[in-house]
Amino acid sequence: MRNHYEASRMGMHDVPPAGRALVVAVVAWSLAWKGASLWHAARNGSKPWFVTLLLTNTLGVLDAVYLFGVARRRGREELDELAILEVTGEPEQEGHPQET
């Protein structure tokens, strides 16, 4: 007879094949979203978002919010600035040396 501890332990071999397939699909889904969102946050230099996305696991929900909301908005702002510079013909500001 199995004791309570042994009866409550359930390994992956006890899960039916459909359940295993679901687990694999959820892990793949999460990793894909996590990878894409972390890559975009790193490229955009957004340290707070990078750390938040790295430490949370929301099955891709927060990652999708970042990718379709925050990252996309930031890209549009940069494109708007480039369009304005193109129309005005103003050269890009590179900063000025410190006058002494």
What number is the average pLDDT over the span 14-36? Answer: 90
d(CA 59, CA 51): 16
What band does 70 get if pLDDT is binned at 50, 70 and 90? confident
Q: Is the pLDDT higher at 16 or at 10?
A: 16
